[in-house]
Amino acid sequence: MQAWLEKAGGMFEAAFITGERWKLYLNGLGITLEVAFFAAVLGLAIGTVTALMKLSVRKNGKKTIWARIANAYIDVIRGTPSVLQLMIMWFIIMKSNTNGILVASLSFGINSGAYVAEIVRAGILAVDKGQTEAGRSLGLSKTQTMLYIVIPQAIKNVLPPIGNEFIVLLKETAIVGYVGLTDLTRAANQVSSRTYEAFMPLIGAAVIYFVIIKILTILLDRLERRLRRSDNR
């Protein structure tokens, strides 16, 4: 047991202490959080607009051209791997741009937008139709009813799943090494290649991911409890 602890201590020192390698993990975590944040903001904006486009219908009940575009976008994004989308963005669409954070944020934001769109759409549809009818009976237009009555109520429905989408997005950013970014996962790989030992660097990165996601999960749980308490009042 003592020999194993000594060996583990040596591996820990080589993976984190020697040469101040902990800074690689810290910088990698910063890039991971930066990409995830900007992608989440972009995904929320794209998803909200796409959800409203998908819900748009003509007076005869048929889908509008905007609804068809939204459906096509969602089908394409959800039907292709995120790593492939990232590579297309990097090597084809923005091949002249060397800003990896920008490229990764755009790619993951567009990817997340398709999933957020379905979350927002479901949240809007979960609002009782009587709310829309009440708004229209008060003289509000269809747009005003959506903005002032339906969407504020839908926000409470979509906040928890959108939080979960951010957690998924945070983990998906582990592939940004394809565009030359040294995120947390790639930092662990770099340390592993220098120490010729994979266990401690990869386990260390996994623990960091787990701690960050656990904190986010706790915050989401508290948010859900508050929303439930407000519904019971």
In the predicted model, is pLDDT for residue 232 greater than 70?
Answer: no
CB 91 within 8 A of CB 57: no
Among all chains, which residue has been given the structure tokens 């791997």? 81
What pLDDT, on a 0 to 100 scale, did the predictor assign at position 59?
A: 65
What pLDDT, on a 0 to 100 scale, did the predictor assign at position 60?
A: 64
What is the C-alpha separation between 185 and 212, in angstroms, rounded? Answer: 14
What pLDDT, on a 0 to 100 scale, did the predictor assign at position 61?
A: 66
Cα 53 vs. chain centroid, distance in angstroms? 21
In the predicted model, is pLDDT for residue 10 greater than 90?
Answer: no
CB 219 within 8 A of CB 162: no
Domains annotated on the chain, with CATH: 2-232 (1.10.3720.10)
What pLDDT, on a 0 to 100 scale, did the predictor assign at position 21?
A: 84
Mean pLDDT of 50-76: 87
Mean confidence (pLDDT) of the chain = 87
In the predicted model, is pLDDT for residue 4 greater than 70?
Answer: no
Mean pLDDT of 12-23: 82
Of the candidates 228, 67, 78, the one whose C-alpha atom is nearest the C-alpha of residue 157 is 228
What is the C-alpha separation between 162 and 216, in angstroms, rounded? Answer: 12
CB 111 within 8 A of CB 85: yes
CB 40 within 8 A of CB 195: no
Q: Encoding tokens for residue 58?
A: 């003509």
CA dist 41 to 10, 80, 109, 113, 215, Å? 41, 21, 7, 9, 19
What is the per-residue pLDDT across 180-226, written as a single tens digit (0 to 9) for each? 888 999 999 999 988 888 888 999 999 999 999 999 999 888 888 88
What pLDDT, on a 0 to 100 scale, did the predictor assign at position 222?
A: 87
Dihedral sign for Cα atoms in the order 47, 50, 52, 55: negative
What pLDDT, on a 0 to 100 scale, did the predictor assign at position 72?
A: 95
What is the per-residue pLDDT across 75-112, written as a single tens digit (0 to 9) for each? 999 999 999 999 999 999 888 777 889 999 999 999 99
